[in-house]
Amino acid sequence: MESAFVSRSSGILLHPTCLPSGYGIGDLGPQAYRFVDLLAETGQVYWQLLPLNPTSPETGNSPYISSSGFALNPLLVSPELLVVDGLLDEAILDAIRVPETSRIQYRSVHSAKLEILEKAYKAFLNKWSEFAGDFEDFCARNSYWLEDYAVFAALKEEFGLPWYRWPEGLRRRVPEDLGSRRKGLERAEFQKFVQYLAYKQWSRLRERCRRRGIRIFGDLPFYVSHDSADVWACPELFKLDSEGKALFVSGVPPDYFSKTGQLWGHPVYDWERLRETRFEWWMRRMEHNVKMFDLVRIDHFRGLLAYWEVPANEETAVNGRWVKAPSEEFFKTLRGRFPSLPFVAEDLGVITEDVEAAIKDLGIPGMKVLIFAFDGKPDNPYLPENHEINSVSYTGTHDTNTVRGWFKEEATEDVKGNLFRYLGKTVGEDGIAAEMVRLAMGSRSRLCIVPIQDVLNLGSDARLNVPSSPLNNYLWKLAGDLLSKERLADFAQITQESGRSRMQYG
């Protein structure tokens, strides 16, 4: 595990879509480079992201409900970098620039980005000889996922329906039927081009991170969307009926976030079939993420031991059941493929002893979230003194309220009293985020990650996601001058005082 971590370090959680932007949504362009520089200048080592996979307004823009477990989100493509590559005229930038806001208008952004990418594709075809070698090399290296994704995305564009409602021959991937859709398959080349752009820009950003000593902490969703290239290409790996419809869907039982549980709606895995393949699909997905990121959070880690399975016709997650997964064999295979195990387990919620034992046996860190710490119980695992060294401390996560919002709107008087006793003083709404950041950064956890909202002391209007609500999530973004070295100065000081600054060990 030592190879995956820099000793006693810290970082910031900020999804790229939340970066400031004059084009409606944050991307992999100049503002991302500026943020990398800010991380380095404030002594940080890690930049934690949410999944970078494609999103859709129809599924609430969630990066955890994606049409691909491998593709990058086209919305992350930077118009400015297309100009640098000679694929977009600079004059177009003024025409597509929009007023800066703190909310992403996804439908208009989707439309605008598609128009930009279409223009870039025409320029790309006109300059084919300039790009051909690099493009063909990218397609060859990524063929194991790109071919299926590109055809899927092209057919999805043509029909506008989930794949399990396509004509039978296409639904079942009959070669003759796929071959007859010549127009759709031509559009597949456009989809490959979009992925080529996205990965090219991602590679450049990663190189900037390496030069500045910043490590990228990625996020691997446990499930993939039913309407995804992955399920369409490998339906046998999921519990589906003969027509491709889900028999059971994913979720979790009632918990902190919802009294009726969370009904996520992904099709659940057929783990027996996965076992027969020596978990090859999962291993390829893991390998893909390990290549992309320096550290990978495995979302819903407990699902690798047992998962909550809900009949597809249920309206809530209450009437589900726990089903065991072949975890021992899976973890043995995982160790064999990735000996350094550069993973972090998302182990929040109700965690059983077998899950705790598996995390300890693998030697990977779990998560310690500070806003869950102050129920008054001395053995609460989220209290800073109870953090193991091999863990990642957080003030909150993308699924929780901001610290300021939590303190104002959710924390009970008892919880506030416990917190004040712990701090040894009473703190108001204006100062609570800084106090919680100091506690998280001062803990024994080897790594501390603070959401940018808590670094900047923002309220609940900056909350990114409400897990029990399907609406109005993943809309927030930074606007104006919120992201600056001056505004991060206090955080830089806390980083230094807690012995986490990269500048303290070179």
Residue 71 near residue 195, CB atoms below 8 Å: yes
Count of CB atoms situated within 10 Å of the CB of 139? 17
Q: From CA 65, how far away is CA 213, in angstroms rounded?
A: 31
Which residue stretches of 257-321 are H helix?
Answer: 271-276, 280-292
Q: Cα dist. 248→305, 422, 424 in Å?
A: 17, 45, 50
What pLDDT does residue 278 have?
A: 97
Written as one string, the DSSP assignment of 338-369 is -TT--EEE---SS--HHHHHHHHHHT--EEEE
Contact 448, 1 (CB under 8 A): no
Asked if residue 65 has pLDDT above 80, the reply is yes
* Residue-level pLDDT at 1: 37
* Of 70, 66, 236, 228, residue with least CA distance to 163: 228
Helix axes 413-423, 432-442, angle to 10 degrees: 60
- The predicted structure's pLDDT at residue 5: 66
Cβ neighbours of residue 221 closer than 8 Å, sequence gap 6 or more: 51, 53, 63, 64, 66, 69, 299, 300
Looking at residue 180, its pLDDT comes to 79
- pLDDT for 228: 97
Rounded average pLDDT over 347-372 = 94
User: What is the band of 323 on the pLDDT scale with cuts at 50, 70, 90?
Assistant: very high
Q: Is the pLDDT of residue 468 over 80?
A: no
Q: Which of 227, 230, 399, 454 is catalytic?
A: 399
Residue 282 has pLDDT above 60, yes or no: yes
The residue written with tokens 């969703």 in the block is: 221
The tokens for 432 are 């609570």
Residues in the chain: 506
What pLDDT, in 10s, does the model give residues 407-465? 999 999 999 999 999 999 999 999 999 999 999 999 999 999 999 999 999 999 999 99
> What CA–CA distances, in Å, run from 100 to 21, 92, 198, 459, 473?
7, 18, 23, 19, 19
Residue in the block written with tokens 């399920």: 231
Strand partners of residue 269: 238
Q: Per the residue annotation, which of 346, 347, 435, 454 is the catalytic one?
A: 346
* pLDDT tens readout for residues 238-281: 999 999 999 999 998 987 667 888 889 999 999 999 999 999 99
Residue whose tokens read 């006793």: 421
Residue 307 is classified by DSSP as E
Q: How confident is the model at residue 504 (pLDDT cuts 50, 70, 90)?
A: low
DSSP assignment of 188-227 equals HHHHHHHHHHHHHHHHHHHHHHHHHTPEEEEEE-SS--SS
pLDDT score recorded for residue 506? 52
- Residues 477, 31 contacting (CB under 8 angstroms): no
Sheet holding 366-369, edge to edge: 343-345, 295-298, 215-220, 46-48, 9-13, 447-451, 391-394, 366-369
Ramachandran sector of residue 187 (left: φ over 0; alpha: ψ -120 to 50; beta: rest): alpha
pLDDT of residue 257: 65
Q: Is the pLDDT of residue 64 over 50?
A: yes
Residue with the two structure tokens 């800073």? 384
**Cβ atoms within 10 Å, residue 200:** 18
Considering the candidates 80, 85, 100, 299, report the single residue annotated as catalytic.
299
Q: CA-based angle 339:341:346, to the nearest 5?
A: 160
Q: Cβ distance 144 to 154 under 8 Å?
A: no
Reduce the DSSP state of residue 163 to 3 states and report it.
helix
Helices 143-159 + 280-292 axis angle, to 10: 100
Let me know: does 369 contact 382? Beta carbons within 8 Å: yes
If you compute the radius of gyration of the chain from its CA atoms, what whole number of angstroms results?
23
Decide: 342 and 311 in contact? Cβ < 8 Å: no
| pLDDT computed for residue 287 by the predictor | 98
Asked if 308 contacts 248 with a C-beta cutoff of 8 angstroms, the reply is no
Q: State yes or no: is 346 an active-site residue.
A: yes
What does the CA dihedral 280, 285, 287, 292 come to, rounded to 10 degrees? 170
In this predicted structure, the answer to whether residue 2 has a pLDDT above a threshold of 60 is no
SS3 (DSSP) at 311: strand
> In whole angstroms, what separates CA 473 from the centre of its chain?
14
Say yes or no to pLDDT of 213 above 80.
Answer: yes
For residue 336, pLDDT beyond 80: yes
